[in-house]
A and B are shown apart, each in its own frame.
Chain A
Amino acid sequence: MKKLYFTFILLLTGTLSLCAQNLTQLEGSFKTGPAIILIATLVTFVLVGIFFRAKDPSDYYAAGRSISKVGSGMAIASNWMSAASVLGMAGMMYGFGYNGLAYVVGWTGGYVLLLILMAAQIRKYGKYTAPDFIGDRYYSRDLRIVSAIFTILISFAYCVGQFGGIGLMFKWILGLNYTWAVIIGSSVVLLYTLISGMIGATKNMQIQYVIIVVSFLLPVFILAFKFDYFWLVPQIGYGAAVTDIVHGISAPNLSDGAALLNAYGHNFSIVPSPEFAMPWDPSTGTTFFQWMAICFSLMVGTAGLPHVIQRFYVVPKVTDARWSVVWGLFFICLVYWTAPAYATFGRLLSSNPEVGVLAKDAIVVYTAQLGGVNSLVVGLLAAGAISAAFSTVAGLLVAGASAFSHDLYVKVINPKATPKRQLAIARLGTVLMGVLVTIVALMKLGLIAQLVSVAFSMAACTIFPLFLLGIWWSGSNRAGAKAGLFAGSLVTVISLTYFIVGLSGGSLPGQAFISYWLNVWYFAWIGAPLAILVNIVVSKFTAPTPLEIKKFLAEQVQN
């Protein structure tokens, strides 16, 4: 048996080594090695999903509360690190320079808010889902329904970017066009989520995290070593490359010895490009206000995302909820410290005009390719990016399906539903959402990071104020919550309407003004504070919160 296993490994290694030779283009051809790695990764996920599959609704929603704090931290990181983190962030920095760092800071800084304002309190409150909490805290069936709908919409918006990322990577590996790549990728991720549910997903998320972090970090070490930067800690070593981009690198004098070359034989040289690193550079079309608004919206949105908040229900103890945030943030930062390095090396390696215009969202794999990194390592990187999208999509679809079956179907439509029926409805919700997301993802509405930031702004304007005030102010009542949610929703609707009209080539009154100040990527900068303010004002002038709610909050949540 051992011999057989050894022979199989040898054959697989040999095949993969042969496959490593066939990479000639950045795009357009079928890549055998990366395809084998991708298939192997997906098979592993599905097997783990089957092995740890959900057996009842409690398992499906909250993984039976059996996950340790480090494990939960890994799951948080894996669930969090989506295509937007692995692909989109580097793409933003590659295309928009310093402005892209607003995403790095926004998506990590939000965890500080999440920890000090939410994590332990949510666990203490002891509900399964965000609509559960909102419906219970604000003693309102209507609010439960509306927040369930928002949970579905937020998960939906978030998924659109992920499906786009999955499509891009499938396109890169399979050499298909974008449409087929998205359809195939979406079908696989949907199948996987249906098989596994959240407990499978939670176990898988830990495996996925390891794959993501190894596949994402390895090429950067190789690139830093190859191009003579401090490779032992490339997350610091790329700093010199940033400075090189700012000042420019002249073409080497060939008489001095062998020149550093990219995979196409172009010199490792670049014209002085301070716009890559200088803040809100005019040539990138970005402003100081946009940097601040994006950063703020992402931070507040982080603390309001249902699928992130939901992770705190799966830890056994309150203290675990707090430490799982720290672990999660640490695991996330390992990748976030590295993403700018890809943008930096990508900028250097693609500076020759012969490379042509590169898709920003795929710059991570292009960078590794242009740097001459072995194609199997590049394939692993692409598989890691797909893993990142898969793990997030699984969490999002489960959160969306939970809202659909648990908060809408069981609590509103059919309270006597059997556990089996609940699970069937959850799965039906997953399929419906997956199909709709695929259709929207095919429209290519924006860059991955931008598409995902819509979900963050939406969460920041709707869910975040309800949680913040619900936990920290006993005076926030049903009427205030409804008014606040209405205000947040109104800002969301205005921003989305102007965005859609703008996309279709139309124009509404004040189109340019709204498109800048209430842009769909960062409208929460005003929407979230407005929703909080309206909630407070209306609560002050309406019937107070019932005594039992206040008592529960004071005794169970605040202590």
Chain B
Amino acid sequence: MASNDQYNFSIFSPRNLHGRKNRNVIFTMLVIWAVAVFGFQTLLRAIEKPTPEKNLILFESEWPFIAGSGERQADYRAILNSLLMVKGKNTVSVPDQQLLSSAISCVTFGMVPDTGRPAVQEKVAALEIMHADIASLKGQQYLDLKFRAQEASAILIGILEPFTGYKAASLEAPILSASLKNDYPASLTDHSFSRLPDVMRLYLTHNQSVLTDTKFLGFPFHYFYTAVFLLVLFIVLCIVYNRLIEWRLKKEGIVE
């Protein structure tokens, strides 16, 4: 008569040699799988260092001089460039976007002489209306307004070019024209900008290491490893496992 213990088994203590070999294959696969996925990410975490973008270094070198009472005036073009480089990112939250737009407007209008400011304000106001209207339009009307807005933006950038240095076709131009608004604090020293350095630090500091800085087939290495290599590895692991199991079943004469 069969005893209750006769058929006891677990993955750690199989009942026979076949089971033990099976267990060894499974554990080997699991270790490779876990180390490849979680081990690599842990390594990435262990060796990373918060690394600032050069725009942050530039911004932080100029920010202490915005009050204008120190040894020199701040380089507002450098500050504007740093602000635009953050505003152009797609991860910026809505409140931070609004803060950046205010700062960009404040710096830009600060560069324009008093006599030229009304013309700029007029163009900015017209652009704001166009951007508000465009969401409700469809088809050809939508396209027409879109092109009119592009033209108006190019004219605005042209007016501002002597002060900002940005040409209409430059990378910064569309970000600048989309950020400008007529309602902005008078100076960067305004208390509403007190969190600006923290915002800049948040968006311009990244976790980098030798694994992220090394290039492989055009990718940052860690990105290639995770997005491409791991998937290849999973398929290879599955094929190897199946081959091993089938080879052993055949060798041991077991029919499933």
Contacts and interface: CB of A to CB of B under 8 A. Distances in A.
A498 to B, nearest CB: 23
B246 A319 contact: yes
Contacts of A278: 206-208, 212, 220
Interface in A252-308: 252, 254, 259, 264-267, 269-275, 277-284, 288, 291-292, 295-296, 299
A320 to B, nearest CB: 10
B11 A473 contact: yes
A410 B86 CA distance: 61
A109 B206 contact: no
B242 A326 contact: yes
Contacts of B239: 326
Given A109-B230, A242-B223, A326-B242, A547 B4 contact: yes
Interface in A100-154: 101, 104-105, 108-109, 111-113, 115-117, 120, 124
Interface string B138-176: 111011001001100100000000000000011101110
B45 A279 contact: yes
A61 to B, nearest CB: 23
Interface stretch (B58-66, B69-77, B87-95, B108-116): B87-95
A142 to B, nearest CB: 23
A24 B171 CA distance: 24
A275 B26 contact: no
Nearest to A546: B4
Contact of B234 (A111, A266, A322): A111
A259 B170 CA distance: 12
A262 to B, nearest CB: 12
A108 B238 CA distance: 11
Contact of A105 (B44, B149, B230): B230
A166 interface: no
B223 A254 contact: no
B129 interface: no
Contacts of B55: 272
Contacts of A124: 256
A282 B51 CA distance: 12
B169 A280 contact: no
B205 interface: yes
A333 interface: yes
Contacts of B222: 98, 279
A333 B88 CA distance: 32
Interface stretch (A348-356, A366-374, A432-440, A489-497): A348-356
A325 B29 CA distance: 15
Given A267-B169, A354-B150, A547-B7, A101 B226 contact: yes
B235 A330 contact: yes
B174 A266 contact: yes
Contacts of B192: none
Q: Please tell me the size bucket of the interface on A.
A: 35 or more
Contacts of A299: 37
B211 to A, nearest CB: 9
B123 to A, nearest CB: 16
A340 interface: yes
B11 to A, nearest CB: 4
Interface string B220-233: 10111011101110
Contacts of B232: 333
B15 interface: yes
A269 B171 contact: yes
A558 interface: yes
A319 B38 contact: no
Nearest to B28: A116
B89 A283 contact: yes
Interface in B228-256: 228, 230-232, 234-235, 237-239, 241-242, 245-246, 254, 256
Contacts of A95: 90-91
B19 interface: yes
Contacts of B196: none
Nearest to A235: B228
Contacts of A104: 226-227, 231
Contacts of B88: 270-271, 273, 351, 353
Given A101-B227, A239-B217, A282-B202, A272 B30 contact: no
14 contacts: A29-B138, A104-B227, A236-B218, A246-B220, A251-B169, A267-B169, A271-B85, A273-B90, A281-B207, A329-B235, A337-B227, A352-B174, A553-B7, A559-B18
Given A249-B171, A271-B89, A354-B146, 11 more contacts: A98-B223, A104-B231, A239-B224, A240-B218, A242-B219, A265-B150, A269-B171, A278-B220, A279-B41, A473-B10, A553-B9
Interface of B: 2, 4, 7-11, 14-15, 18-19, 25-26, 29-30, 33, 37-38, 41, 44-45, 48, 53, 55, 84-85, 87-92, 138-140, 142-143, 146, 149-150, 153, 169-171, 173-175, 178-179, 202-203, 205-208, 212, 215-220, 222-224, 226-228, 230-232, 234-235, 237-239, 241-242, 245-246, 254, 256
The 4 closest A-B CB pairs, nearest first, are A239-B219, A239-B218, A271-B88, A240-B218
